[in-house]
Amino acid sequence: MTTTSFSWSAVAPAWDRYRAHIEQTKAPATTALLEALRLTPGERVLELGAGTGELAVELAAAVAPGQVIASDVAPAMVALLESTLHDTANATAEQLDACALTLPDASVDVCVFRMGLMLLEEPSAALREIRRVLRPGGRLGLVVWAGPEHNPWMVAVGMSAMMHGLVSGGPPTGPGGPFSLSDPDRLRGLVAAAGFRDVDVAPVETPSHFADEAEHFDTVSSLAGPLGVALATASADALAAVRATTADIVWQYKTEEGLILPGRALVCTAIANH
Ligand SMILES: C[S@@+](CC[C@H](N)C(=O)[O-])C[C@H]1O[C@@H](n2cnc3c(N)ncnc32)[C@H](O)[C@@H]1O
């Protein structure tokens, strides 16, 4: 396991609470991903890091009567998946680590990993595993975050937490950080090196809408994995200081409809080599 399942289980209740916001923000990237994958009825799909399972429901509808295995490494996320998929007959929830898949070789037609690969310390290990379980000619669909300069909705909170000493380091572009796969050329290279061809990487704008600064801070700080845990254990004074600094950073995005913060994802698709 290359990211701690504890952190993601710890924020699972918040992911449950903010499902609607998560899906609304990711909708443009999800649409682009589904269009590029061209799923057909009868296909067998593996979703990794499936979180709360909304995408799994869409995948299951697209491939019915084919099967979807919706998986996550964090036990509390798997519990959310089970409840989301309760009425979806052609999808099952499983606990799987993307870097050590307990599935046979060449056993799935399509593998989807939305907003998860960049969080792994060793994304190459997961890509090799994905290539192993995909049949030759099978399709891969990834969504990762573009660079920090395109994602002020997230950076504003992380930068403020850093300024007030709650987290250390520079922009999280290093291994396992949310922006670690934000360089399209690097992403293309990693995917190709794992045994894929026709690798395509396309940017998609994913703006987030919030009523005000308070809603922005509460939402992002609740959902962020390791950062969320750091904020949840901060003193009341430290948290108030981070909140105030974040509000100062995001006020420039205020509109008559509330805060609209820019965001950008990269949608990557590829075909497994023969
Ligand atoms: C940022 S969330 C994204 C969830 C969902 N895919 C979405 O787009 O809303 C990342 C997810 O990846 C999962 N994850 C982290 N490390 C993983 C690993 N090694 N294998 C599988 N899933 C992992 C986390 O538990 C979490 O549910």
Please name the residue that has the structure tokens 């701690």: 4
- CA atoms of 167 and 159, how far apart (whole Å): 9
103 SS3 class:
coil
CB proximity list for 207: less than 8 A, separation 6 or greater: 25, 153, 260, 261, 262, 263
- CA atoms of 241 and 41, how far apart (whole Å): 52
Pocket probe for ligand 1: among 4, 8, 52, the residue whose CB has the most ligand atoms within 8 Å is 8
User: What is the band of 4 on the pLDDT scale with cuts at 50, 70, 90?
Assistant: very low
47 pLDDT above the threshold of 70: yes
Predicted confidence at residue 59, as pLDDT, reads 98
Measured in angstroms, how far is the CA atom of residue 165 from the centroid of ligand 1? 26
1 pLDDT above the threshold of 50: no
Predicted confidence at residue 170, as pLDDT, reads 61
pTM score over 0.85: yes
- CA atoms of 234 and 166, how far apart (whole Å): 7
Atom of ligand 1 nearest to the CA of 223: 1
**What is the arithmetic mean of pLDDT over 22-33?**
96
- pLDDT cut 90: percent of the chain above it: 84
44 pLDDT above the threshold of 50: yes
Atom of ligand 1 nearest to the CA of 99: 19
55 pLDDT above the threshold of 80: yes
2 pLDDT above the threshold of 60: no
**What is the arithmetic mean of pLDDT over 23-29?**
95
Give the residues surrounding ligand 1 with Cβ less than 6 Å away: 1-3, 8, 22, 26, 48-51, 72-74, 77, 97-99, 114-116, 119-120
- CA atoms of 235 and 232, how far apart (whole Å): 9
Measured in angstroms, how far is the CA atom of residue 97 from the centroid of ligand 1? 9
- Residue 247: which of 213, 221, 220 has the closest Cα? 213
Predicted confidence at residue 272, as pLDDT, reads 98
pLDDT in tens, 186-215: 999 999 999 999 999 999 999 999 999 999
Lowest pLDDT segment from 1-15, 104-118, 237-251: 1-15
Predicted confidence at residue 124, as pLDDT, reads 98
- Choice between 231 and 256, residue whose per-residue pLDDT is larger: 256
- CA atoms of 125 and 101, how far apart (whole Å): 10
Predicted confidence at residue 174, as pLDDT, reads 82
131-140 exposure pattern, b = at least 16 Cβ within 10 A, e = fewer: bbbbeeebbb
- Residue 229: which of 76, 6, 58 has the closest Cα? 6
* Residue identifier of the C-alpha nearest atom 27 of ligand 1: 51
Residue type, 52: T
Over the chain, what is the mean pLDDT? 94
Strand-strand pairing, 254-255 and 68-72: unpaired
Q: Token digits for 167?
A: 């987290």
Pocket probe for ligand 1: among 3, 54, 78, 82, the residue whose CB has the most ligand atoms within 8 Å is 3
pLDDT in tens, 160-191: 998 998 887 666 788 888 999 999 999 999 99
Predicted confidence at residue 166, as pLDDT, reads 87
* Residue identifier of the C-alpha nearest atom 9 of ligand 1: 51
Atom of ligand 1 nearest to the CA of 50: 6
Predicted confidence at residue 171, as pLDDT, reads 62
* Residue identifier of the C-alpha nearest atom 14 of ligand 1: 49
Measured in angstroms, how far is the CA atom of residue 72 from the centroid of ligand 1? 6
Pocket probe for ligand 1: among 57, 102, 119, 133, the residue whose CB has the most ligand atoms within 8 Å is 119
